[in-house]
């Protein structure tokens, strides 16, 4: 790869020699590109949009780069808002869709000295620049390809086209330095490798093993956003395994890592993998997924273990679970944030685990009508499928209960045990086998 950057001619691939057609670019993005061009500015599609189109994939969003300043962009669009404090971006709104327009950013000096920090990123490149400078300050070569709206060519300064063909993820510039500037780039490397099935270039992967700790300086809210992109967009299993391979996972979920490290192929590991696998399948089918359930899966083992301790100290099962839930969430959000509206649901899913075994009389029907029942039931299934045999019976009971009519439900409830603990391992072992309740 060329390292004496910022003085080489780009490789320009003319329209007939690449696969990008305007038919595959969102109307809205084209509108923005054309209006900037008509006003006399340069404007390019860049980033994931170009990368995914070249790979024959459907882009998630379209980002635009231009030599117009944010103020100049705003003057062109009624529906435009400027965001960011130090380095401003223009967001052009079309209903719920947002097209992000970024002014070309200048190059950094490369001497690694300090700089302002915004959102965990060191901003040495906090000045406007040229197209060429903009290309060199992007994260990966495959993310630094530009589609020129003037002649529909693709412009490549950093060797991204070659890497795209080779299935290679390569940091632009010195990988260690670029990760230090913004540690989230390590997670981005993993995310793109997982999503695209690319290899990370040896020079780009080496420093990841050493720099995991730098993630701890990144604001939890930014890590939350990144975790959702890693684990909740259809390639969660691959992302999880790569995060563990590069030893980054423990800097995001240290409580979970401690449990996984103790019991590599046992219970917790199976449960997280299975949960992520189900999530990937749901995404592939276009079904909704929620951060509340994801975090319930990721943090269950620490919660369960802590609840077990509290119970041994004399707390009731539900109380122990409630306390443990609170403690684990409070500790976890110091690393990766979780908005309140989701953490409340996560806790409900956990505490319901202690309620689901208690299903005699009117209790079952009442539980069924609770807002978090469906998620709690899915969670129970996941626990049962992950190898907890004692729970398989309980899960089956709930599956039956939901499948039958009201009369049979009443019979199932009458015959149901008063219920006991469903969280503590010791309890589970002590629990005597009961005959499966059969619907009448």
Catalytic residue positions, numbered: 61, 63, 139
Cβ-closest residue to ligand ATP?
48
- Identify whether the C-beta of residue 431 lies closer than 8 Å to the C-beta of residue 394: no
Q: How far is the CB of 192 from Mg ion (least distance, A)?
A: 11
The entry of Mg ion, ligand ATP, none that residue 223 binds, CB within 5 to 8 Å by partner kind: none
CB of 134 to ligand ATP, least distance (A): 9
Would you count residue 138 as binding ligand ATP (CB under 6 A)? yes
Residues 6+ apart with CB under 8 A from 204: 169, 170, 171, 175, 189
Q: Which is nearer to ligand ATP, 89 or 404 (CB)?
A: 89
- Burial of 228 by CB count in 10 Å (0-12 exposed, 13-18 middle, 19+ buried)? middle
C-alpha 345/C-alpha 372 separation (Å) is 7
89 binds Mg ion (CB under 5 A): no
Query: Among candidates 306, 322, 185, which has minimal Cα distance to 256?
Result: 306
Does residue 61 interact with Mg ion by CB under 5 A? yes
**Contact window for Mg ion (CB under 5 A) among 54-62, 234-242, 307-315, 346-354:** 54-62
| Using rule CB under 5 A, residue 51 touches Mg ion | no
Pick the piece of the chain touching ligand ATP (CB under 6 A) from 76-84, 136-144, 332-340, 397-405.
136-144
Binding partner at 144 among Mg ion, ligand ATP, none, C-beta below 5 to 8 Å by kind: ligand ATP
Residue whose CB is less far from ligand ATP, 58 or 405: 58
Paired tokens of 315 = 């707390």
By CB under 6 A, residue 107 contacts ligand ATP:
no
* 185 binds, options ligand ATP, Mg ion, none, Cβ within 5 to 8 A by partner type: ligand ATP
424 touching Mg ion, by CB under 5 A: no
Q: Interface residues for ligand ATP in 142-161 (CB under 6 A)?
A: 143-144
Stretch that binds Mg ion, among 55-63, 124-132, 274-282, 300-308 (CB under 5 A): 55-63
Q: How far is the CB of 60 from ligand ATP (least distance, A)?
A: 4
Nearer to ligand ATP (CB atom), residue 1 or residue 404:
1
- Residue 184 in contact with ligand ATP, rule: CB under 6 A: yes
| Residues from 347 through 406 that contact ligand ATP (CB under 6 A) | none
Q: How far is the CB of 145 from ligand ATP (least distance, A)?
A: 9
> Near ligand ATP by CB under 6 A, which window of 30-38, 138-146, 333-341, 426-434?
138-146
- When asked if residue 185 is in the footprint of ligand ATP (CB under 6 A), the reply is yes
The answer to whether residue 205 forms part of the interface with ligand ATP (CB under 6 A) is: no
CB nearer ligand ATP, residue 45 or residue 324: 45
Question: Does 226 contact ligand ATP by CB under 6 A?
Answer: no
**344-373 residues near Mg ion, rule: CB under 5 A:** none
Of 33 and 351, which has the nearer Cβ to ligand ATP? Answer: 33
Q: Which residues bind ligand ATP (CB under 6 A)?
A: 47-48, 60-61, 63, 138-139, 143-144, 182, 184-185
């Amino acid at each position: 790869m060329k390292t004496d950057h910022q003085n080489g001619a780009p490789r320009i691939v003319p329209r007939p020699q690449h696969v990008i057609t305007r038919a595959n670019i969102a109307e809205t993005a084209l509108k923005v590109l054309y209006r900037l061009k008509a006003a006399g500015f340069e404007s390019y599609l860049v980033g994931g949009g170009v990368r995914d189109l070249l790979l024959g994939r459907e882009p998630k969003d379209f980002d635009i780069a231009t030599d117009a300043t944010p103020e100049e962009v705003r003057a062109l669009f009624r529906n435009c808002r400027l965001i960011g404090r130090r380095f401003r971006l223009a967001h052009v709104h079309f209903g719920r869709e947002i097209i992000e327009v970024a002014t070309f950013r200048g190059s950094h000096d490369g001497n690694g000295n300090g700089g302002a920090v915004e959102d965990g990123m060191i901003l040495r490149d906090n000045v406007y620049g040229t197209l060429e400078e903009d290309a060199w300050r992007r994260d990966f070569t495959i993310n630094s390809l530009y589609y020129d709206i003037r002649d529909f060519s693709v412009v490549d300064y950093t060797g991204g086209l070659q890497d795209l063909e080779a299935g290679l993820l390569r940091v632009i510039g010195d990988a260690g330095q670029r990760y230090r500037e913004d540690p989230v780039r390590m997670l981005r490397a993993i995310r793109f490798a997982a999503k695209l099935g690319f290899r990370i270039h040896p020079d780009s992967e080496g420093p990841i093993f050493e720099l995991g700790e730098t993630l701890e300086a990144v604001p939890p809210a930014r890590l939350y956003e990144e975790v959702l992109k890693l684990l909740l967009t259809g390639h969660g299993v691959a992302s999880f395994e790569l995060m563990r391979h590069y030893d980054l996972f423990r800097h995001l979920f240290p409580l979970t890592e401690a449990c996984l490290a103790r019991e590599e192929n046992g219970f917790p590991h199976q449960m997280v993998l299975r949960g992520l696998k189900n999530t990937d399948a749901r995404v592939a089918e276009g079904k909704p997924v929620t951060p509340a359930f994801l975090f319930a899966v990721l943090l269950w083992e620490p919660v369960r273990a802590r609840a077990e301790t509290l119970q041994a100290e004399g707390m009731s099962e539900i109380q122990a679970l409630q306390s443990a839930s609170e403690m684990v969430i409070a500790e976890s959000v110091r690393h990766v944030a979780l908005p309140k509206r989701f953490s409340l649901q996560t806790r409900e899913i956990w505490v319901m685990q202690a309620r689901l075994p208690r299903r005699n009389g009117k209790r079952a029907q009442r539980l069924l009508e609770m807002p978090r029942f469906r998620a709690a039931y899915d969670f129970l299934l996941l626990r049962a499928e992950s190898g907890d045999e004692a729970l398989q019976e309980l899960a089956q009971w709930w599956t039956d209960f939901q499948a039958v009519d009201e009369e049979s439900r009443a019979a199932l409830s009458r015959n149901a045990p008063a219920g006991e603990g469903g969280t503590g391992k010791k309890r589970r072992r002590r629990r005597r086998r009961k005959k499966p309740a059969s619907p009448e």
